[in-house]
Structure 1
Amino acid sequence: MAGAGWAPPRLDEYILTEPLGSGTYATVYKAYRKRDTREVVAIKCVNKRSLNRASVENLLTEIEILKTIRHPNIVELKDFQWDGDHIYLIMEFCAGGDLSRFIRMRRMLPEKVARVFLQQLACALKFLHDRNISHLDLKPQNILLSAPENPQLKLADFGFAQYMSPWDEKHVLRGSPLYMAPEMVCRQHYDARVDLWSVGVILYEALFGKPPFASRSFAELEEKIRSDRAVETDLVVEAVRKDQEGDAAAAFSLYRKALEYFVPALHYESDVRRKEAIRAKVRQYISRAEELKVLVTSSNKNLLEKGNPARELLKEMAKDKPRLCAALEVASAAIAKEEEGRDDSDALELYQQSLGELLLLLAAEPAGRRRELLHAEIQTLMARAEYLKDQIKMREAQSMGKEALAESVRSACTLQ
């Protein structure tokens, strides 16, 4: 069938090349304009024979909406054409692929990257909602990136979009189940705010690598959304696994990172039952993290004692290298500061200073016994510094967690 196989349809002004993606009714191709600029575009080829009445209406609405809007974070419709077999939507080409692929390649996105993307998505949605347009199919696959490097987010695929005033209510099921708002999943009336739920799911997937309610069936998805159970992140699952394997240091670090997400959730959750479920989780993670901290501290002291003889030997062998001696003295000062237990931030800063110098010296050190000792010492110091960094962050997370717990309890008491 034309448009679904290896041979793309023919269009007078364009050369259609490789397919970029395909769906039930359409295939999108990369294409070049034949004349003048050789402009690169993406052409969505819709097979007329595959369209039913509902999909024709959706396509007409998509063309109508895209013809009237221009925004830096929405894919531009440049033109549309048709012939006996196809309708062609000639779109802006986005070389960075879609957000789903971008997340998969990186497993999960850093918060600062997710924050920029969310700001851009929010700008696009505000622009649409100000014009009473709801997308109704927000998901990472429908969000394109302008380029592989320093990409700008572009909202695409308006096949389910509708003109909806804020007070309009619909009941027709639209979109993709994993990203649908509860009103849709539970077959209730919904309004324009369903797009905001989808944004939250997309943000969660960007940060954790998969949607919060990943399910094997629609029924399972509905059960998870109706449930009061708090969503457990991959960080918690991995922390529990590491804990069961006896890797206390890794489990401690993962519990600490998980708390960084659960504590703000406790603060902002308004549903009483969900808030109580999150509160219980925060208590549980803080308690286990404190137990693991004791274990990690004990094993870390053993590591320090084991490293002492090698460190003394390395100092002895470094007497003819003033820079190496000085860097090792800074490392010793960091260890002493840490053992005092007064100011871990100062100790961490000293570790970082010494490691910066020692890594430079290692690169210039010729092969031999001194290089082996220096390499081992750097590994030990890095482990100490990483552990200390985790301790500082854990204390901050625990402090925030305990404050949030206390605040949520005070709020609960006030309401009673």
Structure 2
Amino acid sequence: MACQKFQILGAGSYGTVFLGRLSSSSSTDSQVFAVKSSKLESSRSLRVEGRILNQLRGCPYIVHCFGDDTSLEHEEVVYNLLLEYAPGGSLESLIKSRPGNIMEFEVSFYAYQLLKGIEEVHGWGFVHCDLKPANVLVFPCGCGVNRLKIADFGLSKPSGVNIFGGCHRGSLLYTSPESLVSEMHEAPKDIWAIGCIVVEMITGNPPDAFLNIAFKKPEIPEETPVRDGLPQCC
């Protein structure tokens, strides 16, 4: 499935993300994709991500993968992962655009979606290991709120398998105490991260510094509301 890249959306440690469309299509109205690319020799994390996404295919709370291919660019072989394009950007950008002003009913609905998505991930025997607002994509659905989808599985691992050799994986701000102190990267790590994301959606601020998380009991901000109710849509 060859794809033509025409705009850079972002870049990270494991590749560059482009906006693209199928090379065989000349129409500007054809479906666009997010194309995550890396040099072939350094594409291991992207290949891991592609394999995991293929197993998670069909979950409405996980970004969809359409396949992969390789291309020759500037005399180098490049590995490409073709992903669903999120017109709403990331949850990180949404939080920054509305710091402390995301409505309570939205936060509860977004938390619900994240939990449903990570339930599917854990059900297939994987741990995401790097849940954070930047790795959650936003899809406007026309009912006043958004559909969220978990993305970026490059650091994910099978449950119960230590493949990191005692090294920490993931963003420190969203790391659970046992992951930071004991290098335990299992399902509770993802649940902790979702709790941190919920606090950030409500307050507009990231969680406490990771050193405090390791050695002090975390405190829930006093202004954090706790109520029931989910929007009946999406």
Q: Report the TM-score, using the length of structure 2 for normalisation.
A: 0.82
Contact 1:47 1:87 in 2 (8 A): yes
Percent of aligned pairs sharing the same letter? 27
| 2:202 corresponds to 1:207 | yes
Report what 2:152 is aligned to. 157
Contact 1:173 1:184 in 2 (8 A): yes
Deviations 1:99-140 (A, max 9, x none): 000011011211100111111111111111111111110000
| 2:193 corresponds to 1:198 | yes
Deviation at 1:222, TM superposition (A): 1.7
After superposition, the Cα gap between the structure-2 partners of 1:188 and 1:75, relative to the gap in structure 1 and judged at 3 Å, is closer
Deviation at 1:227, TM superposition (A): 1.6
Instruction: Kindly report which structure 2 residues correspond to 1:370-385, keeping only aligned pairs within 5 A, or say none.
Output: none
Report what 1:42 is aligned to. 34
After superposition, the Cα gap between the structure-2 partners of 1:59 and 1:16, relative to the gap in structure 1 and judged at 3 Å, is closer
Deviation at 1:39, TM superposition (A): 1.2
Report what 1:76 is aligned to. 64
Deviation at 1:169, TM superposition (A): 6.0
Query: 2-side partners of 1:188 and 1:34: how far apart?
Result: 44
| 2:169 corresponds to 1:174 | yes
Deviations 1:350-395 (A, max 9, x none): xxxxxxxxxxxxxxxxxxxxxxxxxxxxxxxxxxxxxxxxxxxxxx
Three-state SS of the structure 1 residue aligned to 2:205 is coil
Report what 2:51 is aligned to. 64
Instruction: Kindly report which structure 2 residues correspond to 1:84-123, keeping only aligned pairs within 5 A, or say none.
Output: 84-108=76-100, 109-123=102-116
Aligned residue type for 1:129: H
Contact 1:96 1:148 in 2 (8 A): no
Aligned length: 213
Report what 1:128 is aligned to. 121
Unpaired runs of 5+ residues, structure 2, are 227-234
Report what 1:140 is aligned to. 133
Q: Report the TM-score, using the length of structure 1 for normalisation.
A: 0.48
Report what 2:232 is aligned to. none
Contact 1:212 1:231 in 2 (8 A): no
Query: 1-side partners of 2:147 and 2:185: how far apart?
Result: 30
Aligned residue type for 1:40: V
Query: 1-side partners of 2:185 and 2:60: how far apart?
Result: 28
Deviation at 1:162, TM superposition (A): 1.1
Query: 2-side partners of 1:122 and 1:42: how far apart?
Result: 24
Query: 2-side partners of 1:19 and 1:205: how far apart?
Result: 27
Aligned to 2:18, which of 29, 51, 56? 29
Question: Considering only aligned residues, what root-mean-square deviation do their CA atoms show, in Å?
Answer: 2.3
Query: 1-side partners of 2:46 and 2:20: how far apart?
Result: 21
Three-state SS of the structure 1 residue aligned to 2:184 is coil
Deviation at 1:182, TM superposition (A): 0.8
Three-state SS of the structure 1 residue aligned to 2:200 is helix
Instruction: Kindly report which structure 2 residues correspond to 1:347-386, keeping only aligned pairs within 5 A, or say none.
Output: none
Report what 2:231 is aligned to. none
| The structure with more strand, counted as a fraction of residues | 2
Unpaired runs of 5+ residues, structure 1, are 1-11, 216-220, 237-257, 265-416
Query: 2-side partners of 1:119 and 1:131: how far apart?
Result: 19
Deviations 1:126-155 (A, max 9, x none): 111111111110000000012385421011
Contact 1:134 1:162 in 2 (8 A): yes
Report what 1:317 is aligned to. none
Report what 2:219 is aligned to. 231
Pick the structure with greater CA Rg. 1
After superposition, the Cα gap between the structure-2 partners of 1:157 and 1:224, relative to the gap in structure 1 and judged at 3 Å, is closer
Deviations 1:50-71 (A, max 9, x none): x2xxx62x33321211122221
Aligned residue type for 1:183: E
Contact 2:36 2:81 in 1 (8 A): yes
Query: 2-side partners of 1:113 and 1:146: how far apart?
Result: 14
Q: Structure with the greater relative contact order (CA < 8 A, sep ≥ 6): 1 or 2?
A: 2
After superposition, the Cα gap between the structure-2 partners of 1:38 and 1:48, relative to the gap in structure 1 and judged at 3 Å, is same
